[in-house]
Amino acid sequence: MNALEITDLSKEFKGKRNQRVLALDRLSMTLNRGEVFGFLGPNGAGKSTTIKCLMGLIRPTGGDASILGSKIGTVESRRNVGYLPENPSFYDYLTAEEYLMFVGKMFELDNHLLLQRVEDTLKLLELWDARKRPMRGYSKGMIQRVGLAQVMVHDPELYILDEPMSGLDPIGRALVKEIILELRGRGKTVFFSTHITDDVEKVCDRVGIILRGELKSVERLDTILKEGVVGYHIHIKKGGAGNEIMLSSRDGLPKVMAEVASCGDEITLIEPIRKNLEDFFLDIVKNSKPDRDT
Ligand SMILES: Nc1ncnc2c1ncn2[C@@H]1O[C@H](COP(=O)(O)OP(=O)(O)OP(=O)(O)O)[C@@H](O)[C@H]1O
């Protein structure tokens, strides 16, 4: 059973003056269990709309999807999912500890297990010292970490995170990436949206690129990076001196190596020159003509 199965999912909104906005256009994809999937797209691309449809917060106008085998919109489909909304807001008169207890009870955790999970989660998210303070006094970064804590407290199989790194400082971002990797290490599945390529490059197995409601590409990250090799820097020892040549294509390497060898010189290092995920993403954006405002 896949973690997610999405088939032709579409969502049309009625915008200003009854203008129709096709926020999602027949999106289809599957998410394997145990993988970390980065859902990458610029502002207004349709990431939150997709996630809200999956979580049953809005109804798709076309297509369908299932989560861990259960149809979206059902209680069953949400039971084993941790969901972080894009801009989480909480009952701010509660403390983080009280709030996590409340969430755990909603997921019907037994009391003993719940107390342990709340403690572990607060410590993991570095909220332990603040656990008795009402959340209204928390910083933005702390609120975002409470958001992640409430996602994790019932230890679900699947994590659906809408921009989990947004609003965090570099330390907070590093912590979230560490947590995502730790979840993957425990065989969990993570689907998270972002518009920052670097976030994806650090933690994802696969990346999907969404643009103006259309899924433009789904690819393994290692394939993108491997196929992104556009040339090489070749370091050569010539007599006593060092020399460097740049080869700006992937193809000519054997020929250059043979030529260097025939001159009796020695290759000391070959460094691939590669496009990174950001270049790949920008190429897709450039090659896709805008057909409507977002
Ligand atoms: N309730 C709504 N009514 C009308 N249009 C909407 C509504 N919600 C979203 N849209 C439109 O749908 C499109 C996709 O929006 P969505 O919020 O899914 O994008 P996003 O990729 O999550 O962007 P961001 O990174 O800015 O959050 C945008 O054009 C947006 O203006």
Contact 42, 187 (CB under 8 A): no
Over residues 102-131, the mean pLDDT reads: 94
Distances (CA, A) of 21 to 47, 140, 216: 14, 31, 19
Residues 211, 222, 207, CA angle at the centre, nearest 5°?
Answer: 25
Q: Give residue 50 CA to ligand 1 midpoint distance, Å.
A: 10
ipTM score here?
0.96
Over residues 100-109, the mean pLDDT reads: 93
Over residues 131-154, the mean pLDDT reads: 92
Q: Ligand 1: residues within 6 Å at CB?
A: 13, 15, 21, 23, 41, 43-49, 86, 195, 294
- Measured in degrees and rounded to the nearest 5, phi and psi for residue 81 equal -125, 140
Over residues 60-89, the mean pLDDT reads: 93
pLDDT tens for each residue of 6-63: 999 999 998 788 888 899 999 999 999 999 999 999 889 999 999 999 999 999 999 9
CA distance 52 to 214: 16
Over residues 95-119, the mean pLDDT reads: 94
Whole-prediction pTM: 0.86
Long-range interactions of 56-60: CB distance < 8 A, separation 24+: 58/11, 60/9, 60/10, 60/11, 60/24
Nearest CA to ligand 1 atom 19: 44
Over residues 220-237, the mean pLDDT reads: 85
pLDDT of residue 209: 93
